[in-house]
Structure 1
């Protein structure tokens, strides 16, 4: 088992900028895989550096320079990585456009970022760039990257210069661009903990415009990590093949993907000899799932808590009990400080739900070209004031209670959806659950639970789930209505889309009498 004391092949503190680190990674890691797209190709660290420097020379000739923004509208993969590195060599700032965003959100991103150049794949069904911005095709970028023609200029770039901008999903307003410098990226590498070991091979389904990729460039370069793309379209059989054939050491997936993997009839534990840890994202893994993964595959599942504004915050450890893995998001990672406060900013006691505030090297420097918004988002002690609610347990683990706007008030009592979702998720016939509040006469709001059943032919009844909840929570937290669905809708950041759920609840309950259950 890898420990937190394992040293990376390269030391981030020795490099002044991304270009210098990329050069060193090409020398030290050489022909080792940097990126693998199963069935499509792979690229070594040396080739990554070669292509990035070739493309940087071409971009420089087009007038791209230090401080300019380069927007990528590309599929996640090798070409995206080459473009990101090329822009970094020039001291330019890279932002990726999430393909799940609509025209309104995309236009808002461009209005804030004002890119000097857009690199786009017109054939991949990706969003179009708004009018008025220079566009370079993916094909032209690939041709320039592989040509070896030209020499990239040497640019004086420091660790405090911007490297990337990551935009939020825009579910609570227009997207906001959190920007990161090289010091941020170095801090993410230092805070990776069990997630990184020398020459890991990491299976990822994280879209590259997300903070989970855009903030991890230095982490990959110092550790020599091979980023292996998950199969598209995803399938359990495809995941199994990639885990085996690519000798994956760190495997990422949502709970449903792990469950479907375990259901494969030919699952062979000996096929996972390289895998040392599994990572759960988007939704909590039930204690039963954590135990089954340990029993059938032989590896622990860990949980990470992050946000666009801080790609690393807290995490569980491989030897944590299954209840810790399910009910909490672990303890603050290296260099990170977390506080739970009331509305007045005062620290709350253990067990009290309050606003999560974070400080540390992984936290964004602010919102791009939005000084007022940035000032409003940090308190006087330099803590970023998030929109998440949570509390600490006696043993120092952080428990999420939801978003500030997610809480609903039922008959005068506050209900935090995540607590109810965790409880419903423990039911043997519930694969996944999400809860939202819905207006109701007299009582104010009621809880509506959306449930993906374990057995779709015999989904759990409302009374069954209410009885289950009441045996574990206060009775007012039990759901008043249950809607069985095939899948929980996710937003552009792969988190539960509560806006969509509230609309579905309104549509469903408009056809039936609405009121609290007794």
Structure 2
């Protein structure tokens, strides 16, 4: 009996439309790539990689700007049975030196602009080849691939074999490489295909407006796999631009973004119900969505944003429902229900199960959960329980209806005077104050309390706020031990490329401020 090929590319390509001349990707500049173009391009790149005679399990590290060719490189790496390692385009030399030194990729692909310093790092770490790829369809990768055949067999891979390594953001300590298998990615893609309604529509009838970066779970896996698995066209934006998104939205049916995208869309007068007339689904993730944004979006567009929850180690874990079957609704401030196949539990510090609405540590199990951290067996053992649950590092709760709410990261927990303080709870109260646009709450060292609660607030345009009045108001609304000892005002909160607030930056900045 022949074992089916569990290579993720085999699954994706099995769902490509019968008419391979149809448009697969259209860029904002008007370039069209057919499904046949995708298959031929990925075959040529895969054949180039195979011609290098690399050992099984070799890594292909990629730090390039977003382009259709960059997506083809990812798919070609899968097709060749190698391991894809995407790297944030914001990383600089010291960071790349760490990632390349840790992963020891056989192939490194970078922009021509960075070739000089990236190649030195790569060859020092034992790389076999370094290629360039630019966002204008130029570079040595495509030049070399052009000499190879545009037909290529998909290299057989088992479900538990490695498909990708994603390094965590590393806001605390060194980044860890999460190892994701072909089975992890395939199972999650298939679940989302059904759960988010792709499967309910005729194949290829959806159009994904793709504005996310592709060095991250959200843009590379969740968005791209969704379109590929349903044989749907992608309108490809090199980066998020609110006005360009508004221009393209009438031709799209699905859009995925981070909360910042939705805030910026709402700031545009041209973002209206008419703009969204063809849309069936807006999805938000990668960072918490403010309830105000959730409600403002509903009022402006008539659409309810679907918020979900996932991470590099697990891909997607929970999601608000696609529709109202069985009385389920999309609830603002929650990340929905555990996805089919995912088991989620909340435990206290002693490992005991928490009851409904009790705050504790989120732990998960399922076919989407990663195998462990690259070359960190001890860290892997630490992050899994004896019965196989992964400790997400997130703190949250599950209500009586099964909806999950994230309270924060366990590393962000503030212990002040012996009391546990959850930043998100205080942020929620501050964000409702008049004149407040958004806030972030962190803990800083304090000689008496161990940690002091500090609030960093972004005022609305034209608002006049002062620390004393904010603190006074909070004293009437929350327990005294939760009230910030300091309130600072900033024009904007520091964020990473996926829109997450960098609380480590805030802690460093305000730790020296007098209590």
TM-score range, shorter chain: 0.7 to 0.9
CA distance in 2, matches of 1:469, 1:397: 28
What secondary structure, in the 3-state scheme, does the structure 2 residue paired with 1:272 have?
A: coil
Q: C-alpha displacement at 1:319, in angstroms? A: 6.1
Indicate how the Cα distance of structure 1 residues 466 and 135 shifts in structure 2: closer, same or farther if over 3 A, else same: same
| Per-residue deviation, 1:324 | 6.8
Q: Distance in 2 between matches of 1:477 and 1:69?
A: 47
Residue 298 (1) aligns with residue 302 (2): yes
Q: How does 1:491-502 map to 2 (within 5 A)?
A: 491=496, 493-502=498-507
Looking at structure 1, the residues matched to 70 and 411 of structure 2 have their Cα atoms a distance apart, in angstroms, of: 35
Q: Which residue does the alignment assign to 1:190? A: 190
CA distance in 2, matches of 1:475, 1:319: 41
**2:46, 2:79 within 8 Å by CA — same for their partners in 1?**
yes
Deviations 1:145-165 (A, max 9, x none): 556636435533222221111
Deviation at 1:144? 4.3
2:355 alignment partner in structure 1: 349
* Matching residue of 2:25: 35
In structure 2, distance between residues paired with 1:89 and 1:158 = 13
2:396–2:407 Cα contact (<8 Å) kept: yes
Match of 2:229 in 1: 222
CA distance in 2, matches of 1:48, 1:21: 15
Counterpart CA distance in 2 for 1:407 and 1:162 is 33
Please state whether the residue corresponding to 2:445 is helix, strand or coil: strand
Match 1:123 to one of 113, 121, 136: 113
**1:327-349: per-residue Cα shift (whole Å, max 9, x none)?**
32221112111111123322122
Q: Is the 8 A contact 1:105 1:174 kept in 2?
A: no
Aligned with residue 379 of structure 1, among 359, 378, 385: 385
Specify which of 126, 130, 135 is matched with residue 135 of structure 1.
Answer: 130
Q: Tell me the residue number matched to 1:149.
A: 149
Alpha-carbon distance, 1:426 to partner: 2.9
SS at match of 1:43: strand
Paired residue secondary structure (2:249): helix
Change beyond 3 A, Cα 1:27–1:382: same
Report what 1:7 is aligned to.
Answer: none
> In 1, Cα distance between the equivalents of 2:221 and 2:372?
14
Q: What residue number does 1:288 align with?
A: 292
Which of 465, 481, 486 pairs up with 1:481?
Answer: 486
Q: CA deviation at 1:256?
A: 3.7
Alignment partner, residue 179 of structure 1: 179
Looking at structure 2, the residues matched to 227 and 330 of structure 1 have their Cα atoms a distance apart, in angstroms, of: 26
Residue 11 (structure 2) aligned to one of 12, 21, 34: 21
* CA shift for structure 1 position 325: 3.7
- Tell me what 2:136 maps to: none
Q: How does 1:20-169 map to 2 (within 5 A)?
A: 20-28=10-18, 30-39=20-29, 41-64=31-54, 66-123=56-113, 128-129=118-119, 130-132=121-123, 133=127, 134-138=129-133, 139-145=139-145, 149=149, 151-152=151-152, 155-169=155-169
Ranges in structure 1 where 5+ consecutive residues have no aligned partner: 1-12
Tell me the SS of whatever aligns to 2:412. coil
**Which of 426, 429, 439 pairs up with 2:432?**
426
Distance 1:257 1:154, change over 3 A: closer
Q: How far did residue 49 of structure 1 move?
A: 1.2
Q: CA deviation at 1:41?
A: 3.0
How big is the shift at 1:357? 0.6
Separation in 1 of the partners of 2:370 and 2:389? 11
Q: Which residue of 2 aligns with 1:461?
A: 466
- How far residue 218 of structure 1 moved from its aligned partner, in angstroms, is 4.5
Matched position secondary structure for 2:40: helix
Paired position in structure 1 for 2:405: 399
Written as runs of structure 1 = structure 2, the 5 A alignment for 1:310-459 is: 310-317=314-321, 325-455=331-461, 457-459=462-464
Q: If the length of structure 1 is used for normalisation, what is the TM-score?
A: 0.87
* 2:395–2:406 Cα contact (<8 Å) kept: yes
Does structure 1 conserve the Cα–Cα contact (< 8 Å) formed by 2:27 and 2:236? yes
Unaligned runs of 5+ in 2: 134-138
Shift of 1:391: 1.6
**C-alpha distance in structure 2 between counterparts of 1:350 and 1:164, whole Å:** 36
- TM-score, scaled relative to structure 2: 0.87
Partner-residue secondary structure (3-state), 2:113? coil
Q: SS at 2:89's partner residue?
A: coil
Equivalence map 1:198-237=2 (5 Å): 198=201, 199=204, 200-216=206-222, 218-230=225-237, 232=239, 234-237=240-243
**3-state DSSP class of the match of 2:340?**
coil
Contact 2:46 2:77 (C-alpha < 8 Å) held by counterparts: yes
Change (3 A) 1:23 1:289: closer
Distance in 2 (alpha carbons) for counterparts of 1:395 and 1:39: 46
Matched, 1:250 2:257: no
Give the count of matched residue pairs. Answer: 494
Q: CA deviation at 1:111?
A: 2.3
Give secondary structure in 2 for the equivalent of 1:112: helix
Deviation at residue 82 of structure 1 after TM alignment: 0.8
1:472 offset after TM fit, Å?
4.3
Q: Cα distance 1:299–1:367, how it changes in 2: closer, same or farther (>3 A)?
A: same
